[in-house]
Amino acid sequence: MQNAIVRDGAYMRRLKDALYAQYGIAALEVTPASRGYYGETWKVCADSGCYFLKIDALPFHQTRYRRSLSVIEYLCENGIDFVGTIIRTRQNALCFDFDAAVAALFVWVDGENVETDETKTPEYQMLCKIYRLTKPGLGIPSASFSDDAAVRFYEQWDALKRAPQTDANRAALDVLERYKAKTDHCAARLAHFAARCRQHPAAFYLTHGDAGGNFFVGNGRNYILDWDEIMYAPLERDAWVMGCYDWARRLFNDTLQANGIDDRLCPERLAFYSYHMFFFYLGEFLQVHPMQDKSQRIRAYFEDGWILSRIRFADMIA
């Protein structure tokens, strides 16, 4: 997402200068690329080829972005060719500082972001290749079974109540209050399943967190891009979003078996991640999006959002 810096001619000249200083790449054209949720993204075209530039100006997210880059390189070094290819700087670094942001350059992937029921088969097959490369010591966080996502959301809600009461603030607070019973219900369920999951240890793998939302198809090839949120976690972190469908759970389990991964989806962990991610996305609405957009996004999330079918599924798990 764009920050408050104006992307005028002077900014673009500085950006091109930085690319030449860092990579020796003389950019002929730099155009916006509609990829990525947190970052400012650009397509860079030069005589040497086309590149994808992602600039992360959000302080709370920059650490995640930095540490994901070394894992992407680790995957590439081990034969994974669908996660993006990082271009190292002249100083052999994986990223560089640009203003107060973190920037990294990748080989451009000429494809479209596509997610359908049919793409789940290749997506799960590709994820299994990642799972088999799981090893400790990659410098990324490990998931925990807690209700922290709900706690953080309520803290953000309280902070919004204490903030100056602009029209946009009041609109967001009105929507949140309207659906307080729903959030309270999900918070109680999250705490319940967090406690239950802590009682039953799970195997942890390298997980993406939103592989379907970053599944790209182009030139006859499939890719899973944007690994900012890579984390050691149980398989349900990748499977929960389609876990409300019987066919998707069967497909995920069958794909694990076909790839020699001795694990199966657990209903309790699917429920945990359904409630956890319910609060994760609510928190993102409050933290990342412009204030004037928050009430509309939150209202749509509660009234007709895709999350509702996932919560209905989780509500049926005892």
Q: Output the DSSP codes for 264-294.
A: ---HHHHHHHHHHHHHHHHHHHHHTS-HHHH
Contact 95, 101 (CB under 8 A): no
Residue whose tokens read 């081990």: 78
Residues of the chain with pLDDT under 50: 1-3
pLDDT of residue 1: 42
Q: Which amino acid is at 131?
A: Y
Q: Tens digits of per-residue pLDDT, 77-99?
A: 999 999 999 999 999 999 999 99
Fill in the DSSP letter of residue 142: B
pLDDT of residue 36: 62
pLDDT of residue 39: 78
Q: State how far the Cα of 166 lies from the Cα of 255, in Å rounded to an integer.
A: 51
pLDDT of residue 73: 98
pLDDT of residue 60: 86
Fill in the DSSP letter of residue 107: E
Contact 218, 249 (CB under 8 A): no
Q: State how far the Cα of 26 lies from the Cα of 45, in Å rounded to an integer.
A: 9
pLDDT of residue 2: 43
* Residue 226 C-beta-side C-alpha neighbours within 13 Å: 20
Distance of CA 89 to the CA centre of its chain: 25
Q: Which residue, among 210, 193, 225, 188, has the nearest Cα to 284 in the 3D structure?
A: 210
pLDDT of residue 5: 67
